[in-house]
Structure 1
Amino acid sequence: MTPYLQAENLSKRFGDQLLFENISFTIFEQQKVALIARNGTGKTTLMEILAGNDTPEFGQITKTGDIKIGYLKQIPDLDDNQTVFEAVFQSADEMVETIRNFEDAVLHNRKEDITKYTELMESHQAWDYEFKVKQILTQLKIFNYDQRISELSGGQKKRVAMANVLINEPDLLMLDEPTNHLDLDMIEWLENYLEKTKITLFMVTHDRYFLDRVCNEILEMEGNTIYRHRGNYSYFLEKRQERMESTATSVEKAKNLLRTELEWSRRMPQARGHKAKYRMDRVDDLIVKAGQNLNENNIELSMNSSRIGNKILDLENISKSYGELCLIKNLTYKFQRGEKLGIVGKNGTGKSTFLNIVTGNLPTDSGTIEIGQTIRFGYYQQTGIDFNPGDKVIDVVNKIAEVINFDDGRKLTASQLLTTFLFPPDTQYSFVEKLSGGEKRRLYLCTILMTNPNFLILDEPTNDLDIMTLSVLEEYLRVFQGCVIIVSHDRYFMDKIVDHLFVFNGDGNIKDFPGSYTLWRNKQLEEEEQEKKLKKPEPKAPQKPAKEKERKLTFNEKKELEQLEKDIESLETEKATISEELNSGELTNAELHEKSNRFGEITDLLEEKEMRWLELSELA
């Protein structure tokens, strides 16, 4: 395999905080590699260094030849003054520029330019590429080309940036949390796209299903060491557990040996000390080994929820619309103790609206909501909260409460609670502005749970949290005695937590599905398959081929060969006609799009029929 990019002894600090030191690894051609590390260890900084947007303090990056790197940032860096069209087709690639100019001419119906760029499309043989570009834009729901970047939401900007990086087809594709802000359909499409393409991939993601199905190698960065796992996420989990168990055994042995060596050193006469220097060096090594913190990546969320009464939350015929757009229509539902509800649906179908209605932040158009007297909501919002960057981490928690009292009589100080959430004492007195995006989300989660809620509402809780934190959060929610509502595009997270789903279809009707996300999705796929079968007649069973030596065309195959010749001639004629029409400059905008799409379809059909014709003609 060709090494595309090699990192050697990279080190980087953020202020006085060491992110990573002397790490080395290589990314080879056609590998699909994921980087896993806890928040605050510099995953995004490392991506920036590899992409050439930052420099390491020490170490070097070596690229093979002139490989083209495409980098999708976690928060896209787009020009607010550009239009969507300009941002999507921004490129130095000649083929992409040709398609951009053609599409721009079509979009604004400039007939002379259409003729000019149609000829260039022909000379560059760009029609197939253009068809692929349109597929990407359609799947990412990018239609309003004239809209300004400044008018887009964070999710829309992410899709525009992703379209740009995919359209440019880089040799090495780097993705930092690509599934954030994408709905489930888009995530599945992207998953299939990356799985099938031969592109070399290096990414950071918390979506474990996505990671499991796309990547064939995982780099784990822990304690300034890179552990390489040649397999998917499931394989990584097995090997990581084996390593942790082995390390735990080594640490325990080191502790036992350390006790023996320390006892020896205390009894050793000082006059003979110089004769046993190797044993004193050994003591120093054992102190380091025995002092390894095996729990540095573990958060133990042992907080209990407040007592919950018989009446929890009753919704009676609630409805909500915005103009003609109906998001919720006559929904009636009564929540039960310990219920864990997941909410799924495309962006814009009313999921966040529902959460804001439940928590009283938004009124309904009609219907009633009754909340039990004992209910204490904990609402983790997708937008998070705006921390004062000049505050220290411990100040954030102290503003809510200096001591947290639990119903079972336990107490935790603000510092103890932060330590539980993986903020050691030195980090607690650092400024919030020094925290990574994931650490800020973890701090936000801490401020929610410390209020001791018995009804948790989590809107996209998995965005920016590392996999280690997510695993512990899942375990906390699994044993949580109160009610939980979760909106999430993380399928793995949903499968582990929820009992049933509210499916938002966008027409106001909300369906209650009794099962996990995977069960619902599989049922959806089965129904889609059934619809296809009803529309298409069953293909005839293929005849058994004759023995190789006696193989001749059957009567049906002769007829098929004759028909193929007619079909190929007809398609070539139609293709030539469409080519002339595209060059004429007389088509309307709508006709140009229609003819362009048909041109791509004909090209695919011709290739398919010509391959079959060759196959049969060899037997004729």
Structure 2
Amino acid sequence: MANILSVENLTHHWGDISLFNDLTFGLEEGDKAALIARNGTGKTTLLNILGDIYPADSGTVTLRKGVTMGYLAQNPDFNPEITVLESLFQSDNETALLVREYEKALAESDHDALQHLLPKMDQYNAWDFEERAKQILSQLKIDMFEQPMGQLSGGQVKRVALAKVLITNPDFFILDEPTNHLDLDMIEWLEDYLKRSRMTLLMVTHDRYFLDNVCNEIFELHDEMLYQYKGNYTYYLEKRAERISQKNQEVEKARNLLRKEQDWMNRQPQARGTKAKYRIDAFYDLKKTAGQNLEEQNLEINIKSSRLGKKVVNLHNISKSFDNLKLIEDFSYKFARGEKVGIIGKNGSGKSTFLNILTGKLAPDSGEIEPGETLVFGYYRQEGLNLDENKRVLDVITDIADHIQLGKDQSMSASQFLRYFMFPNEMHNVLVQKLSGGEKKRLYLMTVLIKNPNFLILDEPTNDLDILTLNILEDYLQQFDGCVMVVSHDRYFLDKVTDHLFVFEGNGKIKDFPGNYTDYYTQKKKENKAQKELSNKYKEPKKKKPARQPKPDKLTYKEKKEMEALEERIENLESEKSEKETQLNSGSLEGEELMEASSRLGEIMEEVDECEMRWLELSEKEG
């Protein structure tokens, strides 16, 4: 297969910190690859370099000539004044540029430009560009096409940016966290879209089911090096474990051999003088290998939680609406110690509203909330803590507590606590604004856990956290003896952590489902299949009626007449199309006449397509 991307000897530093050194790799046409690494080790930086956002310190990135690229940034930026639809045309893609030029020529009645652009509009099949844009936006639950970008939420902006990349249909996609801010239906739609597409893909995502179902190649950035695995996420986990085991064996063997070589090196210099220089050089190489860590640094969360009494929190007939939008209606529930609840539902169905009511941040319209006396909430909000960007990392923690209580009457200082959460000493005095998105999220998680909650509420905790941190967080939540409530679109996370689900079905209805997300999804598929079969069964008698009344052909008299009318209509439309093209090419039209003729040509082409599709349907039935 043809090579799409070649990267050679790529090196980049962040201040005094080396992110990666001499990376050399490539992608072939049709590859669907993911990049995995801890937060702060350079994932987004690498994507920005590959996307030509800014240069590397050294090395080369070569995109094959003629290959088009689409880039989805982690935090996309748009002009707040332009509309949603206009933002999709702000692109370097040839089709988008062509449509923009055509719209401008129409608006300015530029006859010469229109004559030049009309053949290109046909060549690039650009007449339905806007319609395709609206279809993709609708799949991503964006339907206010004329709304200014400045009025959208951060999640909506990310979805518009994703639609902008998809609609241009480039040869090579670079996607930085594409599943963030998508609900489960959107994620499944995007997963299917990318699986079926023949494009080449490189992405960063924390969604492990998404990785498994879409990717056929994994790159892991670790210790400034890039490891390549030809397989999906499950294959990567298996081979990565083998790599670490092999490395640990090499380190252990080197340490055993080092003891012997150290004795030799400790002898008098005279005794070494006659020895081969290669043995001395080999000793220092051996020492370097033996000095490596046997185990990777892992985040092990074991923070003490406050004692939780028998009564946790009870909800009695809770209801909440905003104007005419009903979010919660007559919901009652008694939480038990140790239960772990997942919350799923479409965006805007009331999930965050429910959490705010539960924690007392928002009052219900009716109903009662009865908290237990020992209840201590720890609320990790989706929008995150409003951290002072000019504060040092250490100050963020010491502003809450100088010492942190752990289990078994143990405590640690703020500095120790930061190291425990993989913030080494050299990062303690770094300003918050210098942290990566994932590092800020990890710091925010620390501020939640430091208060020793016994009821943890996590609203989209997987956004921006790296996979390795998520694995440790999942293990901690499984062992947490208080209550856990999680709002997440990460199917893997929900499966691993939750015992049952609150499903927000819309119109105020909340269903308590006894199982994890995979259980729910499996049951939902069965119900949909049964409903479809029932619907088809109901329609079958109507379909069989024509078979009980044999005719010389399969077309009814009415359909024959429709087919004849279609043939006549297509002929007339083709004639009108030829006439309009002649007018536009003649140079005789000006101003409003030119605009009307150009607009009508687009309408004719759409109607011809519709008529031809219907004629084909009837002709297949006839044959």
Give your verdict on TM over 0.5: yes
Residue of structure 2 equivalent to 1:270: 269
Matches within 5 A, 1:13-52: 13-52=13-52
Answer whether contact 1:312 1:372 (CA < 8 A) is retained.
Answer: yes
Aligned equivalent of 2:187: 187
Aligned pairs for 1:249-288 (under 5 A) are 249-266=249-266, 268-276=267-275, 277-288=277-288
Deviation at 1:77, TM superposition (A): 1.7
CA distance in 2: counterparts of 1:263 and 1:558, whole angstroms: 101
CA shift in 2, pair 1:223/1:607, >3 Å = farther
1:468 corresponds to which letter in structure 2? L
Q: CA deviation at 1:535?
A: 2.7
User: Which residue number corresponds to residue 411 of structure 1?
Assistant: 411
Per the TM alignment, residue 532 of structure 1 is displaced from its structure 2 partner at its CA by 2.3
Could you say what the CA RMSD is over the residues aligned between the two structures, in angstroms? 3.6
**Post-superposition offset of 1:408:** 2.3
Q: In structure 2, how many angstroms separate the alpha carbons of the residues matched to 1:580 and 1:123?
A: 20
In 1, the alpha carbon distance for the partners of 2:606 and 2:508 equals 34
- Between the aligned partners of 2:566 and 2:35, the Cα distance in structure 1 is 48
What do residues 404-456 of structure 1 show as CA deviations (whole Å, max 9, x unaligned)?
A: 12352111221222112111122223222221111111111112112221110
Q: What is residue 547 of structure 2 aligned with on the other side?
A: none
Give me the whole-angstrom Cα distance separating, in 1, the residues matched to 2:552 and 2:36.
57
Count of aligned residue pairs for this structure pair: 592
What are the residue-to-residue correspondences of 1:294-309 with 2, within 5 Å?
A: 294-309=294-309
1:439 aligns with 2:439: yes
Q: CA deviation at 1:594?
A: 11
How do 1:227-238 residues align onto structure 2 when only pairs under 5 Å count?
Answer: 227-238=227-238
**Which stretch shifts more, 422-431 or 94-103?**
94-103
Question: What are the Cα deviations for residues 316-338 of structure 1, in whole angstroms up to 9, with x where unaligned?
Answer: 00111111111111110000111
Change (3 A) 1:506 1:579: farther
The separation in 2 between residues aligned to 1:494 and 1:82, in whole angstroms, is 37
1:401–1:598 CA distance, 2 compared to 1 (3 A): farther
How many Å separate the matches in 2 of 1:463 and 1:91?
Answer: 27
Going from structure 1 to structure 2, the CA distance change for 1:580 and 1:375 (only over 3 Å counts) comes to farther
Does residue 464 of the first structure (1) align with residue 464 of the second (2)?
Answer: yes
Cα distance in 1 between the residues matched to 2:205 and 2:615: 40
In the other structure, the counterpart of 2:11 is 11
Aligned partner of residue 536 in structure 1, secondary structure: helix
- In the alignment, does 2:90 pair up with 1:90? yes
Q: Is the 8 A contact 1:297 1:468 kept in 2?
A: no
Equivalent residue of 1:469, what SS? helix
Local SS of the residue matching 1:88: helix
Q: 5 Å matches for 1:359-508?
A: 359-508=359-508
Distance 1:105 1:408, change over 3 A: farther
TM-superposed deviation, 1:469: 0.4
Q: 1:451 to 1:473 in 2, by over 3 A?
A: same
Range 233-242 or range 396-405, more displaced: 396-405
Query: 1:234 is paired with a residue of what secondary structure?
Result: helix
How big is each residue's C-alpha offset from its partner over 1:111-169, in whole Å with a ceiling of 9 and x where there is no partner?
x9xx9999986675446666544431221223222211111110111111111111111
The worse-fitting range, judged by mean Cα deviation, of 133-142 and 556-565 is: 556-565
Give the whole-Å Cα distance in 1 for the aligned partners of 2:388 and 2:313.
Answer: 34
- SS of the residue 1:41 aligns to: coil
Residue 213 of structure 2 aligns with an amino acid whose one-letter code is R
How far apart are 1:601 and its partner, in Å?
6.3
| 8 A Cα contact 1:127 1:599, kept in partner | no
1:2 corresponds to which letter in structure 2?
A
Q: 1:568–1:127: structure 2 CA closer, same or farther, 3 Å change rule?
A: farther
Residues 321 and 465 of structure 1: is their aligned pair in 2 closer, same or farther, counting only changes over 3 Å? Answer: same
- Aligned partners of 1:378, 1:581: CA distance in 2, in Å? 69
2:525 aligned partner, one-letter code: L
Question: 1:391 and 1:527 mapped to 2: Cα distance?
Answer: 53
CA contact (8 A) 1:11 1:20 kept: yes
Amino acid in the other structure paired with 2:59: G
CA shift for structure 1 position 66? 2.6
In structure 2, C-alpha distance between the alignment counterparts of 1:579 and 1:480, rounded to whole Å: 71
| Alpha-carbon shift at residue 525 of structure 1 (Å) | 2.2
1:354 aligns to what? Answer: 354
Distance 1:567 1:47, change over 3 A: farther
Q: Which amino acid aligns with 1:293?
A: N
Show CA shifts across 1:3-37 (max 9, x none). 11111111111222211111111011111111111
Q: Deviations over 1:233-278 (max 9, x none)?
A: 0110110011111111111111111122223322x22212233343
Matches within 5 A, 1:164-179: 164-179=164-179
Equivalent AA in structure 2 for residue 310 of structure 1: K
SS in 1 for 2:337: coil
- Work out the CA distance in 1 between the residues paired with 2:171 and 2:369: 54
Q: 1:557 to 1:423 in 2, by over 3 A?
A: farther
Contact 1:131 1:600 in 2 (8 A): no
After TM superposition, give the deviation of residue 100 of structure 1 in Å. 6.2
| Residues 490 and 597 of structure 1: CA distance in aligned 2, closer, same or farther (over 3 Å) | farther
Task: Indicate if the aligned counterparts of 1:32 and 1:217 stay in contact, CA closer than 8 A.
Answer: yes
Q: Which amino acid aligns with 2:472?
A: V
Report the TM-score, using the length of structure 1 for normalisation. 0.87
Q: C-alpha distance in 2, partners of 1:104/1:522?
A: 50
Are residues 100 and 139 of structure 1, via their aligned partners in 2, closer, same or farther at CA, if it must alter by over 3 Å?
Answer: farther
The answer to whether the 8 A contact 1:306-1:407 is kept is no
Partner amino acid, structure 2, of 1:270: P
Question: What amino acid sits opposite 2:146 in the alignment?
Answer: D
- Give the structure 1 partner of residue 333 of structure 2: 333
CA distance in 1 between partners of 2:444 and 2:392 (Å): 14
Q: CA deviation at 1:377?
A: 1.0
The match for 2:543 is none
Q: Please tell me whether the aligned partners of residues 477 and 497 of structure 1 are also in contact (alpha carbons under 8 angstroms).
A: yes
| Per-residue deviation, residues 513-555 of structure 1 (Å, max 9, x unmatched) | 1111122122222222223223334999xxxxxxxxxxxxxxx
2: CA distance, partners of 1:256 / 1:558: 91
Q: Tell me the amino acid that sits aligned with residue 59 of structure 1.
A: G
Per the TM alignment, residue 558 of structure 1 is displaced from its structure 2 partner at its CA by 9.1
- Structure 1's 473 and 594: CA in aligned 2 closer, same or farther, altered over 3 A? farther
Give ranges in structure 1 of 5+ residues lacking alignment.
Answer: 541-555
What is the letter of the counterpart of residue 272 of structure 1?
A
Contact residue 89 and residue 97 of structure 1 kept, 8 A = yes
Single out whichever of 281-290 and 186-195 deviates more from structure 2.
Answer: 281-290
Is residue 55 from structure 1 mapped to residue 46 from structure 2 by the alignment? Answer: no
Cα separation, 2, equivalents of 1:234 and 1:569 = 57
Gaps of 5+ in 2: 541-549, 581-592
Is 11-20 or 601-610 further displaced after alignment?
Answer: 601-610
Q: CA deviation at 1:402?
A: 1.3
**Between 470-479 and 443-452, the greater mean CA deviation after superposition:** 443-452
**Separation in 1 of the partners of 2:452 and 2:154?**
31
Tell me the alpha carbon deviations over residues 74-123 of structure 1, each in whole angstroms, 9 at most, x when there is no partner. 111211121111102223445445666889999x9x9x9xx999998667
Deviations 1:196-231 (A, max 9, x none): 010111111111111111111111111122111111
Query: Post-superposition shift, 1:570?
Result: 6.5
**Contact 1:568/1:609 (CA < 8 Å) preserved in 2?**
yes
CA distance in 1, matches of 2:224, 2:428: 22
For residues 339 and 223 of structure 2, the distance between their equivalents in structure 1, rounded to whole angstroms, comes to 39
Q: Under a length normalisation based on structure 2, what TM-score does the superposition of the two structures give?
A: 0.86
Give the Cα separation in 1 of the matches to 2:242 and 2:190.
32
AA paired with 2:84?
V
Q: How far apart, in 1, do the equivalents of 2:81 and 2:286 lie?
A: 60
Partner amino acid for 2:460?
Answer: E
Distance 1:574 1:346 in 2: 44
Q: Evaluate the alpha carbon distance shift between residue 145 and residue 608 of structure 1 in structure 2; reply closer, same or farther with a 3 A threshold.
A: same
CA contact (8 A) 1:500 1:515 kept: yes
User: Secondary structure of the residue that 1:505 maps to in structure 2?
Assistant: strand
C-alpha distance in structure 1 between counterparts of 2:197 and 2:261, whole Å: 57
Pick which of 531-540 and 294-303 moved more: 531-540
